[in-house]
Structure formats: structure tokens, C-alpha cells
Structure 1
């Protein structure tokens, strides 16, 4: 039933005929009113204008490193998943084995009494029986003659712990229709931490972490100090070697076969035999003709040389330590407290998040499709897929127009770019089979998952199952309908260059980014921006190296590349000039380039797509109560700003500036808006004001 609107004295009361008064519009009006700081001129500082009040009132809880619209969405998702996984959760789904085991894993995770009672027996038994023990705990009783590097590396790899060399099944970059074996240097445990604060603070925290962790395992501390010194010296040698290498060494790739691998990489272990045995663990037989893609072969050799100079004791200590580091969050409370103290240095958190959310998020990683089945049945409206499909098609068409109108791209490159844009596959929400009541495929996907009351046994089992499944992909044909790399219950979106596809999970198609009942200016300013962002990734500094089939092919002409390089230089310099006053540190324009190009293009795509929609749907979008002074175009920008409202700990800001490829949130707003003449028009800004650059930097 429609409710008639009543127009009362316009000077005193809002005209309800022009207002959207649905429950969602009331909600949206509230969050925007509580976010905007109207004492700030949007032309001077749009981030502060859009987010000032929100930032002032935002409180970062002790278990978080930030407060933002997206982190709130993720936290809400965690509570939702915990409710769905609890035994008391009511749902319409006939319980399948896959769902039952997801619930069992969750139950074992939240059962802290059993975790404390079980203690460390399970994991220590495994280390002693399967991995050769841990010298730092055994002191002089450990026999170094038992050390077998190849065997230990293989065993740890089966638990998805690739300490020095990472092996995985991946898509072949030169032919994206087939899979191949990939090998590359693994990340160091301390690598990112040392970057954080020029080493001193990081090394001290790392040292205390190791000491406190091992002391919690033994009453005999006599061997700890010497072993710790050797371990740190070894890892620092690896770190210094990594830092001394040219970036081109990291980017180098060599295509070979398994039969020729030993002639391709110069390492001190039998690399071909290691890979054969690793895949055999997953019941996959590999042959000499199998393609192997080697990344950074020079570094693989350098790592091997450093390893060869270490004592068996140092190697055993280090490799087991790396294994234990990755298990610490799953251990009893005293060990979780120790790793919490360590991570506090880098993210500012001081307590664990709620156990129910921790466990729900963990199950969402291990059995994501089971969790997604529960989620979409209860919380995702099917109409959302229809509407977001229409949105993404509109935004795609706008990008094609932008390519056509570009003045720097030659006609040959434009033609291929448009073909690639049209060929992009958009996956929205979830894989189709999750809609069905037939659980056959879901149960088949998780057929080997059988969990019990022991949480640590469940964790170790899940790791091995994941490792096997990843390796087994080598013999599976590529199915372009499958969802990989991201689950429907993730608050994120991705562009997969090797498939020329973009994915938007059900969990991100939620307010304030999207709602099926929201005015279009909110949806285009929210999820529309992310849609444009992911499309643009196919045409940035990295995306330009992949064609419409996902093959690594340089399809831009030399003239187009040269013109692009001039434009990207402008963007690099723009972001290099941004300083985050919270920590008095500048943004790295080179590091964040691809994301900045995508952000800049995304805002244009989303805005022009909304404009185009509005032209054919005149007076359909109504304004929000309490915000009638703003036009629908201004409300588009306000919701865009709101989704990036963020407050972070100093530690987390430091870490992100060093490690994240995205610019800090305030510059994800300021950068694109300051380059956009339509933003200036909508808010009446003049070029040269604080939020409007005279020299606009644009690629698209």
C-alpha cells in the first residue's frame, strides 16, 4: 500500500513527496548525517567534510587496529557467521555432511576448556614424532645426525608451511587454459616486521616473541639464548640478502620442465625429486614433461647457499619455529597472549577479538563454501544479483566510452582494450550451485573433511586437506565457472588477471556499499566505485600485460606505452606529495600506483554510469530526510566518501604505508576527487582549492 505524501510549508518542513522514507533510506540518512562535518568546506578537504564527525566519534576497540565502514561490515559478518554456525542457529537448509563438519569445526574452536585441557600435547607429539623434534626444547639431547633437510622441508610443505621455497599449482601465464607447477622464494618471517621501524623495534619484539614462546614450553631455558642468537643471525642474513637484490631479480621468471628443473635452478637439494614427492603426497603423479614456472631463480640459488652454511641445529630450530609461529593463534590462551604482545607492536591491538568471531572467521577460511551456503540462504536476496549485474554492465559501458575518448591511446590499442573490456566476466554473489537444495556438490567438495572434538587435530587435518586440494588442481581442467581465490563470505572484491574476471562476493554486496532498496546514487557511490575499480585493474600498470583471455601478452603498442608512462608519472608524483600527518610519513606513489590508477578511473566510471541512469529515470531517485540541501549527485560523492571513513592505530598506519599497495583511506578520497572536474562542478569548487588540483592527473 502506498502512503500519500503531504506537502507542508516548504520553508519549515521538508516536502515528504520528494523524500525517500523507506527503512533503508532512514538508515542511510542517519549514517550520513552522523558522518558529515558541515563546518568543513568540501572544496578544501572533502575527506574531513564527508567523514569528520564519524572520525571524531569513532572508537577503536582494543581488539581492532582500525575502525572503518568496511571493518564494521566485516565485524558484523563475523557475528552473523558465528550465529549461523552455532548449534542453536535456525535455518531452512537440510543439514548436509559439509554443513555438519563446519559446525563441528566451529564447536571445537570455541570450546576453550577442551583446548586448555588438551594443552600442547597434540602439536608437540607431532613435532617429536613427525618433524624430528625441536632442539631449543631438547637442549643437548637433540641429535643433529638425525637432521634431514629434504625430509623436513617436504613434511612441512605437506602442512602448507613453505619455509624457503614455495611450490604451488597455478595457471600458466602464457596459456591461461592450462595449469602448471610454480616455484618461488618464500616470504621471511621477519621481513615485513623489519621494514616497519628500521629494524630495532621489530627485532626486539621478534626476539621477545621467540623467548617467551619457548619459555612457555619448557622449564629449561639453558639452550634458548644461544639458539635464539643463531636463529636471528640466520634470518638476518637471509633478510640482508633479499634486500641487496635488484627488483628485476624478483620479477624474473623462467619457464622450464620438471625434467630440466635441476639444470634451471642451482640449489643444494634435489628440487625435481622434492616436487615429485610433494605431489605424490596429494596422489598426483608428475612427469618430466610437466611445465614448471620458476620465479626469481637467482634468489633461489642465493637462499640455498645461505642455508648450506648453517648448522643442522640452527636449521631444525628455525624450520620448527616457523611452523609453530603459524600455529600460535590456535594454541591455548597463554600462547595466544604471547603472539598478541608481539603483533601489538605492528598493529596496536591489545586484546584478542571475541572467540566466537575468531572461530567463525577461521571456519569461513577452511570451509568457505559451507559457510557461504548458510549465509546466502539467510542474508542474501536474489534480486541483488539482478540489480548488481545491471550496474556492472552500465559501468563497463562507461569504461568503453572512456577508452574510446582517450587521447593518448592509439586506435590499435583502443580496439584491443575494448575487446578485453567486453570479455570481462563478472561473478556476483556466489557460485550458482549454492542456490540449490541439492547438497551433492557441496558434500563432494568437502568429502574428506571429518572433524572431531580436538581443535588442534582439526587444525592440522584442515591444513593437510587444503594442501592436498591445492596440489591436486594440477590435473583438474580449468573451469571458468568456479569461484577461486575469494569466497562469497568475504568482504572484498578482486580482479583475476589470469582469467579476465572480476568477483564481488555476497558479503560485500551489503550496506553501505549496496542495498537493493537504496537510491541509485548510494549504490553507484558505494559498490559502483568498487566495480569500476576492479574493471580498471585490467588496464593499469600490471593489467596491461594480460590480454582478454588472461594470457601474459604485451598488447599495447610502444607509442601507447610511452603515453601511459607520462600519465602514470603524474599520478606517482601526486601521491608522493601526500603526507599522513598522524605518523608524519609520506605515501609511496610508486608502490600504490596500480591502486591509485584504478581508484581514479573508478570514481569517473561510477559517476558517469549514475548520470546516465538518472537521465533515463528522471525523478525516480528521491533525496534522504535531513539531507535535502544536497543534490543526488552530491549524495553520490558523500556515500563514496563515507565508505572510506577510517580511523587507525599509529602502528597499523605505519605498517600499511610500508606494505599496502593501496593508499591510506583519506587519499583514496582526496586523490580521485581532486582530479575530477565533475566533482568540482557538483560542489562548486575552483581549481587550486585544497581539494581541487590545478593539474589534473588522469589515465582514463
Structure 2
């Protein structure tokens, strides 16, 4: 806000402030709810007021549709950029982060900075060299395909099936730096039963198109879009269209069948069902003729001590493995190879020329509504920071990635230490409030309650960033051996991926330290997390900004926004999935049977509530998936409640805060407005359909309205009549 606007606002309010410091502020619905000690006229308050004024729609009754009241003006004036599928306050904060990172990646190196910073810039610059990619991208990828054994749809009769097996393909691809597991996934994960140990896990794959689409069959219009994408890429690489249509139809039907063998997301919420440990030699019996011990050691050849056949592994979905063992031998090698090479190429479209990228765009238009290819700088910034998915892989989630290096670059320049202190205090207060809430529950027995309290006490917060990332010596040691100096974007990427894979192999037999800075250095991320394996909550520096957080505005604004997120992540430790693990992150049933039944009954209320919400996409009414979204919905409900209670307890200690200038709302009402602001979003219809089908979160409207209509505190603060849309008689309450 300009200084002139600030002076005008201050001047217009000054006289009235002298006369009305103790008068009641009336909201839009004409009900006086609370006396305020005055109006705050600091620059931070004026800026906060301006943001609220710009976003709310005063013509909407907050007791009818609070989401539209809090976000309506934002929705009316916001246009989705052509290269995006949706935009909102959350997305815009990410856009701001991208711009800051671009400045860092394009900046001149500073004296004595960590060596890895040079590799970060080299990676970014090689991505930005579109001319080089245009000249050699296709040729480079064809060479990669040759190393993989060739793509049958291109090679015709020259392709030799005798040299092919899917597991040998995976070994070659893994050693080259590619992400593998399109038929059967082998990965390093944390042991469900002992969170201090790692274990090899065998799981069903992720698919090129989500199961929720593939299960509709080959003739479904979205599946047909995926099919055209496959065929057009093959033709771009030199295949004859008639041949490509015939052969890739077979490979797509193969992928559809693999999807039908896999279990749906709903069944994957039960961690106990996914915990099936057995010696490798026992697992071999599920798939006769395939030596799992040899395969794992071939893929992870960097293991200091090779895996032995008597060691335990976890087979997450035994039914998938058993069905695959029956089915796969009947599938021609050519069909398998066409599918696997396609999946490899699909994951590498960012390294391709503009023609291939435009083919991908045509597919994305139908699936997500995106209209144009994003600006190259934006793509390269997000890829370098690990924020852009390469295939199905988003690298900021992977240990050993550039996340710590990029986090160090960002934290040194953009994140003030004062913000961390304020956020620390909020997390402390909201955690305490959750413990008080546990004490008040009349449906929880004392044995379970005590264990829940222990879990909250053991929950480790990671706020902003780990201070170790600012230590140049530690960063240099962490990235020892990683150097990206090639002019080739693809070569740099594969070098990066191989470093990550070696990191996992080296760490495999080491005891996991859940507090290690090496796994918590990601500062440059606009998101927040609960990690059930660590029982930790994470709030990277990137999210402590924008509508979520400002260190110079009233606390009710911060408690409503980032405070809600803090409560949300704490509650994840006690949602349908988080509640399956104890305070050490181990899969332990710590619930008394009767209390567990009461919990499940309350969770069912949430499942039914959200499962009855609908969206209209292109004239088709779609119900939300109440089962898949239950964890996020429970966390949203708990997040708002815990943050509100923590703030009200703060008010009792410190007194009421002044309200904002130019707004007829009390601090309590502004808490709710601030809590809704992070979810203000506009979304293309195609993306909305994809979101409802595949995402674990409910659409933003229901994240706000669905939560607030369950809270009596909200209805009281807005004086919402009983049975009004935002104050129904039946309210769901888990925590």
C-alpha cells in the first residue's frame, strides 16, 4: 500500500477513533458481538485491512456462504493465467517464491559460498538453454532409448525380444538415473514397526494416467486423450502412425489391466494392511522364477552390504504381486517394452523439444485445462528447486536432492529470524491447546488419553529451516561428489538423480535420526507437512509469508491463517492414518477398543458430510470422495478449532487486540476471515474434475465451509441463525 493511501486512511479514521475507541463494531449482519479496544493504524494493520477489503464480498451473507463472503471479490477479479490450471492466494505465494528463487539462480556467485551453489546455477542454466534442447533434445532422448534396449514401436522387426525382460529394463533404467517401477515398484522406505530403521518395500506402481481415469476403460474420453498423447509422441520420434496406434493400444490396454490389479486409494489408508514383512526368499514364492534378492542388489548396487535372502522386506500389496505373477508371463515382451519405454519418455518431456512439449500440452488441455506452456524461467526455477514434478517425481520430497542447497540460498537472503520466533511461539501455544482439548474429550478413556498426550509431547516441530543449512562446511560435506557442470539439461538431471539414489543406498543400513538437519533443510517450499514416520510437523520458511503470515499484523490474523495450518498438521497425527502410529512413528495400536469405536463413529460423520458435497463439472454432478479426503477434512476441522482456542487463551492473558481500519468486523470475526483467505482459489473445470477424482484434499470451498459449519464458535461470532447454511443443527466433531 502506498504511503499516500495509508495517510488518507489514517486521517479519515483519526477523528472517529478519538470518539469511538470503546464503541462496538457491527458486522455486515448488524449484530454487535464484541467490544474492541480501538483501531490499529500501524502500517502492518493498514496493509492487512487493505488485503481483506480487496478480497471479501460484502454483499454475501457470511452465514450463508462464508467462503464466498471471505473470497468473493478475489474470485471476481482474479483471472487464471493461461499457463496455470488454477490460481489463488496459495498459488500466488508460490509465484512469489519462484520469482525470488529466479533472482538467486541468476545472480552472481558470492565469495566463499558453498560449492553446490554453482551446480544449482548450472542446473538452472542448462534448463534455460532452450536453443540447445531444441537442437539436440530429441536426438539425446533417442540415444537414451537405445541404451534402454530400444522402443519396439520405432524399431519394428529390428527389435529383439530375446534381450528383454522388464526387471532387467528396470536395472538399466535405474543405473542411468531414471525413476523406475512402472510394473512393480522397489523402493527404500521406513520400517512401519521400527521407525529408526529403513526397509525395502515392494509396491504397486503409479500409472501414467491415474487409476481413477484408467478404470473407465479404453473408450473413455480422458483415456483416449492419453492414448493420442502416446501415439503422437511415438510419431514425433519416427514411428508410423498406423503402427503406433496398433502397438500403443496394446500397451495402453496392458496399463489399464495393471491398474485394475492395483488396489484403490481408499484401501491404502489402512497402514496395517500395507505392512506385510517377510524374508525376501518368502516373497520370491509370490512370483516364481523372479529372483528378488538378485534384482534388489542389481538395482541398489551401492549398498555397502548386499541384501541377503533371509532379510526382511515389506510387500505392501501382496494381492497385486500375486496377480501380476499370473498375468505378466502371458503378456508379449513387445507390449511390455512399448509400455515401459513410453513411461520413461513421458517422465522426460521437460527435456524435449517444443514440438513434443506442445503434444503434451494438447493432452494437458483436456485433463487440466492448461492453455499454454509455462514461461521457461518458471519451469526451470521450479525444477531446480525440486518443486516441479518430473514424471510423477517431485524431488523436494527426496532426501539427497538439491532441497537443502536451495533452502540455504533462500534462507540467507529472504527469511527474517524474527518471523521464526513468532511462528515458534504459535506452534507452542497451539500444541498446548491440543493437549487441553484432549483433556476435555468425554469420549476418550484415560489410558488412550495418556498415550495421546505422550504423542503430542513427542511431536517435533521444524519451523522455517534447520540452522545447519547456513553452515557452508556442512553443506559442502552433504553434497560431496555432486557436480553438475554439463551444458546438457538431461545429463545434469541424471547426475542429480544418481546422487540421490546413491544417498539412499548409503543411508539404508544407518539408524534414522528423525531430528537430523539433513532431512529438514527445505526452506524454499510453500507448504506444510506432518510426517507420521517421524511424528513431526514442518513449516518451511516459504509458507511463513503472504496471507498466511506477517510479523507486523495483529495476532488474530496470523492465528487464523498459519495458526490454522499449524493445528491442521498437529491434527494429522490423530486423523484416520496418523492415529495408527504412536509417538515414535511406529505402527502400534495404542487405542483402547471402545475408544477406537467412538473415534471411528465420529470420523464417519466427517466421511458422510463431505461425501454428500457435490460439484458441477461441465453439467455433470460429482460427489466428493469422503473416504479419501477424510484425513485432510479431519485436520481442517481440528486446525480451525485449535487455532481459535489458542488465540482466545492468548487474549485472556494479554488482552484484546485492536481491530483493523475501514472494516466493521471484530477481531474474532477477522480471525475467521483470515482463516479463509489462504484457500481463496479459482480453478478450471478440467482441473476441478481431476482434483475431485484424485486429490486427498477437498476443493477449497468445502475446506472452509465444511469446517466452519461444524464449529459453534464460528456461528456464535457471526451470530448465524440456527439451521442457516453455516450453522446446521447436526455438526460433526472429531477433535
Normalising by the smaller structure, the TM-score range is over 0.9
Aligned partner of 1:347 in structure 2 is 368
Distance apart, 1:443 and its partner CA: 4.5
1:321 aligns with 2:307: no
1:144 aligns with 2:161: yes
Taking structure 1 as reference, are residues 569 and 260 closer, same or farther at Cα in structure 2, changes over 3 Å only?
A: closer
Structure 1 unaligned regions, length at least 5: none
Taking structure 1 as reference, are residues 196 and 687 closer, same or farther at Cα in structure 2, changes over 3 Å only?
A: farther
**1:320-363 deviations in Å (ceiling 9; x for gaps):** 11100100122111111111111221111011211111101111
The CA RMSD measured in Å over matched residues stands at 2.5
Taking structure 1 as reference, are residues 35 and 208 closer, same or farther at Cα in structure 2, changes over 3 Å only?
A: same
Secondary structure of the residue aligned to 1:119 is helix
Distance apart, 1:442 and its partner CA: 3.8
Aligned partner of 1:467 in structure 2 is 501
Aligned partner of 1:493 in structure 2 is 528
Check whether the contact 1:253–1:297 (CA below 8 A) recurs between aligned residues.
no
Aligned partner of 2:252 in structure 1 is 232
> Partners in 2 of 1:485 and 1:655 — Cα distance?
31
> Partners in 1 of 2:430 and 2:59 — Cα distance?
34
Secondary structure of the residue aligned to 1:229 is helix
Aligned partner of 2:3 in structure 1 is none
Match for 1:116 among 134, 148, 170? 134
Aligned residues: 690
Structure 2 unaligned regions, length at least 5: 1-6, 23-36, 387-400
Aligned partner of 2:562 in structure 1 is 527
Distance apart, 1:157 and its partner CA: 3.3
TM-score by length of 1: 0.94
1:588 aligns with 2:622: no
Aligned partner of 2:638 in structure 1 is 601
1:361 aligns with 2:382: yes
> Partners in 2 of 1:499 and 1:581 — Cα distance?
39
Secondary structure of the residue aligned to 2:463 is strand
Aligned partner of 1:21 in structure 2 is 41
Aligned partner of 1:70 in structure 2 is 90
Secondary structure of the residue aligned to 2:300 is helix
Check whether the contact 1:547–1:555 (CA below 8 A) recurs between aligned residues.
yes
Distance apart, 1:534 and its partner CA: 0.6
> Partners in 2 of 1:360 and 1:157 — Cα distance?
25
Matching of residues 3-22 of structure 1 within 5 Å: 8-10=14-16, 18-22=38-42
Secondary structure of the residue aligned to 1:439 is helix
**1:417-446 deviations in Å (ceiling 9; x for gaps):** 11111111001111121233x334344335
> Partners in 2 of 1:247 and 1:603 — Cα distance?
28
Match for 1:673 among 708, 720, 728? 708
> Partners in 2 of 1:99 and 1:244 — Cα distance?
41
Taking structure 1 as reference, are residues 81 and 197 closer, same or farther at Cα in structure 2, changes over 3 Å only?
A: farther
Distance apart, 1:395 and its partner CA: 0.3
Aligned partner of 1:254 in structure 2 is 276
Aligned partner of 1:651 in structure 2 is 686
> Partners in 1 of 2:157 and 2:719 — Cα distance?
76
1:306 aligns with 2:327: yes
Deviates more, 1:605-614 or 1:115-124: 115-124
**1:257-300 deviations in Å (ceiling 9; x for gaps):** 2344323x325421121011112145552233432111111211
Deviates more, 1:650-659 or 1:487-496: 487-496
**1:219-276 deviations in Å (ceiling 9; x for gaps):** 644532321222122222223333699948993432112344323x325421121011
Match for 2:113 among 80, 95, 101? 95
TM-score by length of 2: 0.89
Secondary structure of the residue aligned to 1:487 is coil
1:453 aligns with 2:495: no
1:332 aligns with 2:353: yes
> Partners in 2 of 1:495 and 1:244 — Cα distance?
23
Matching of residues 17-416 of structure 1 within 5 Å: 18-88=38-108, 94-128=112-146, 130-158=147-175, 159-192=178-211, 194=213, 200-218=220-238, 220-221=240-241, 223-242=243-262, 247=267, 251-263=273-285, 265-281=286-302, 285-365=306-386, 366-416=401-451
